[in-house]
Amino acid sequence: MTELTGYSLSRMSSLLAAGEISSVELTQAHIDRIESLNETYNAFVHPTFELALEMARAADAEMALGRRRGPLHGIPVALKDAFDTKGIATTVCSRLYSDRVPERDAEAWWRLQAAGAVLLGKLECTELCLGGPSEDGLVPHATNPWDTERYAGGSSSGAGVALATRMIPGALGSDTGGSIRIPATFCGVAGIKPTYGLVSLRGLFPLSGSLDHAGPMARTSRDCAMLLDAIAGHDPGDPVSVTASVPTSAESLVDDLQGIRVGYVRAFAEDAAVSTEARQATEAALQVMQSLGAEIREVALPDIWDFTVCNSTIMMSEAFAIHGADFRTRAGEVSALTRARITLGAFIRAEDYVRAQAKRRELARATAEVMSNIDVLVYPAALGDPPRVDEIKPFYFLETPLITAPANVAGVPAASVRAGISGAGMPMGIQITGRLFADAQVLRVAHAYETATPAFDRAPGCIS
Amino acid sequence: MTEQEFLTLMRQIGLDTQDHDIEELHAAYLRLVSLFDRLDTKSPRAEAKALPVFDPRSVL
């Protein structure tokens, strides 16, 4: 690994600001790394290296004139292939959209460009943001660098893999039931699903508009905060974009947790589907937070299955509404896992969809009530180690609960933070969930925890 | 709903049954429906009244 690609995004930013490296140098180092590793890990589906170098040269020229746009100026990033990019293929990794080239950029990517970021390319995702990992899809599925036999997590799988392998320092992903947090956890990196409506969904290929969230992924929570600061904010072109003013995240990061009240959702951690190791890692994280000054309280949310069923009902109904026409005529072109999951949405009655939306309001209200006396909630980010790729079932979410679903249903911000290595040698993670619009608070707690646990900041063995 | 009834519904929806593992899909459907009690709310009329949310400004 070259020294440059191993740095965090914030370190790269500091070096660029100090003039110690150029954006071209930084971008070329990442291109070299992608060229040497992508054939093994399949993280990139549409590299844009020529464009990246062009953008890097422009960034260097601008900064040479003393015009630095901000901390992301000259920083190379990549996007999940669900974000529209003007003139660049955006296929959602599906044969249904294999020729699709958008005419304008997604708002979140437009904002990153305005901040001076450089595009290395588009990242693999599970098909239509719901399926996979599939052997029969448009593109090969991204491979988990910690164990190539295990799932990298989805649907922002390419982002998790590219970050873990140091191909990129930052990315944009999307999350409808855990699609930022699951790959972040399984690949040992960081990610945050922001408050619903905080980041524009305009130009993000929809899976389920009610539950979709766009958000950053990086190797640290500080890096996520820097990316979130650039993309958050009201977009009048997105009907669900909120107008609330949100405090800047990156500037509020501190290393202690004095005065922070942490709610431990014990019932989630002790669910029968959660591994002992995942529960122990969460409890160990709580001890670290306590040592940093946090007050730990036990709290109870509604049953995890209530959130799971609510999330799945809304998500599958809306997904079929989007893809139904294609599924009636071209279902054979869709990979088997994606086809099965989205088709199930065809059988959900309108009455049950509306009931699920009503239930969502009730669950969101219950969550807000619990959080009225708490700053953040903590619970595991995954049920246990990533499953083996060949053992993934199409309807796993009907057999085990979705521990990432509560934050999508409630719309609250939730970060995934690495919390050690399991006995099988796989990364483990915790979720830190905050109040609506308290994204900065979530990242503050995540950053303090990460800073206090430097031993967990590891690259996969095959990389280091 | 029996598997045969499920197949009939599937055809009515316009889906090609050859594209799917019907036994698996039917089992998933039955499992999902068995979980729908969890969608009950304490005040369904009040909750549903807020739906759907339509902001006329969004079409301007």
Say yes or no to pLDDT of A315 above 80. yes
Say yes or no to pLDDT of B49 above 80. no
A143 assigned to some structural domain: yes
Please give the pLDDT value at position B58. Answer: 60
Residue A355: list chain B partners with CB under 8 A: 36, 39-41, 44, 48
- Any catalytic annotation for residue A155? yes
Burial (CB < 10 A; 0-12, 13-18, 19+), residue A68, is: middle
| Least CB–CB distance from B51: residue in A328, A336, A357 | A357
CA distance A56 to chain B (A): 37
Residue A398: list chain B partners with CB under 8 A: 28, 31-32, 35
Please give the pLDDT value at position A417. Answer: 97
B23 assigned to some structural domain: yes
Does residue B23 sit at the A interface (CB-CB below 8 Å)?
no
Say yes or no to pLDDT of A261 above 70. yes
Say yes or no to pLDDT of A462 above 60. yes
Q: Please identify which of the residues A13, A155, A200, A210 carries the catalytic annotation.
A: A155
B8 assigned to some structural domain: yes
What's the CA gap between A114 and A106, in Å, rounded?
Answer: 12
Least confident among A235-249, A256-270, A340-354, A411-425:
A235-249
What's the CA gap between A377 and A268, in Å, rounded?
Answer: 11
Give pLDDT tens digits for A48-87.
999 999 999 999 999 999 999 999 999 999 999 999 999 9
CA distance A80 to chain B (A): 27
Please give the pLDDT value at position A128. Answer: 97
Say yes or no to pLDDT of B44 above 70. yes
Residue A358: list chain B partners with CB under 8 A: 39, 41, 44, 47-48, 50-51
Nearest chain B residue to A401 by CA: give it: B35
Buried b (16+ CB within 10 A) or exposed e, A390-416: eebebbebbebbbbbbbbbbbbbbbbb
Quote the number of domains for chain A: 1
Say yes or no to pLDDT of A110 above 90. yes
Please give the pLDDT value at position A285. Answer: 98
Give pLDDT tens digits for B1-30.
999 999 999 999 999 999 899 999 999 999
A40 assigned to some structural domain: yes
| Least CB–CB distance from B41: residue in A344, A359, A395 | A359
Give me the mean pLDDT over the A336-343 stretch.
95
Does residue A309 sit at the B interface (CB-CB below 8 Å)?
yes
A173 assigned to some structural domain: yes
A254 assigned to some structural domain: yes
Residue B58: list chain A partners with CB under 8 A: 239
Inter-chain CB proximity B20 and A343 less than 8 Å: yes
A461 assigned to some structural domain: no
A168 assigned to some structural domain: yes
Surface of B (30-59) touching A: CB under 8 A: 31-32, 35-36, 38-42, 44, 47-48, 50-52, 55, 58
Give me the mean pLDDT over the B27-39 stretch.
97
Residue B51: list chain A partners with CB under 8 A: 354, 357-358
Confidence check on the interface: ipTM exceeds 0.95, yes or no = no
Say yes or no to pLDDT of B57 above 70. no
Inter-chain CB proximity A346 and B15 less than 8 Å: yes
Name the percent of chain A lying above pLDDT 70.
99
Nearest chain B residue to A353 by CA: give it: B39
A352 assigned to some structural domain: yes
Give me the mean pLDDT over the A379-401 stretch.
95
Inter-chain CB proximity A339 and B19 less than 8 Å: yes
B1 assigned to some structural domain: yes
- Any catalytic annotation for residue A134? no
B42 assigned to some structural domain: no
A127 assigned to some structural domain: yes
| Least CB–CB distance from A358: residue in B24, B36, B41 | B41
User: Can you give the residue range of the structural domain that contains A392?
Assistant: 3-456
Give me the mean pLDDT over the A297-316 stretch.
98
Q: Please identify which of the residues A10, A80, A210, A241 carries the catalytic annotation.
A: A80
Domain holding A123: CATH number? 3.90.1300.10
Give me the mean pLDDT over the A304-324 stretch.
97
User: Can you give the residue range of the structural domain that contains B24?
Assistant: 1-12+19-34
Interface test with B, best of A359, A393, A400, A402 (most B CBs within 10 A): A359
Inter-chain CB proximity B39 and A239 less than 8 Å: no
Is the model more confident about A251 or about B56? A251
Nearest chain A residue to B21 by CA: give it: A340
- Running DSSP on this structure, what letter comes out for residue B43? S
Mean confidence (pLDDT) of chain A: 96
Give me the mean pLDDT over the A169-177 stretch.
98
B48 assigned to some structural domain: no
Quote the number of domains for chain B: 1
Tell me the pLDDT band of A348, cut-offs 50, 70 and 90. very high
- Any catalytic annotation for residue A122? no
Say yes or no to pLDDT of A418 above 50. yes
Inter-chain CB proximity B58 and A239 less than 8 Å: yes
Give me the mean pLDDT over the A28-47 stretch.
98
B25 assigned to some structural domain: yes
Is the model more confident about B46 or about A217? A217
Say yes or no to pLDDT of A1 above 50. no
Please give the pLDDT value at position A247. Answer: 74
Residue B8: list chain A partners with CB under 8 A: none
B27 assigned to some structural domain: yes
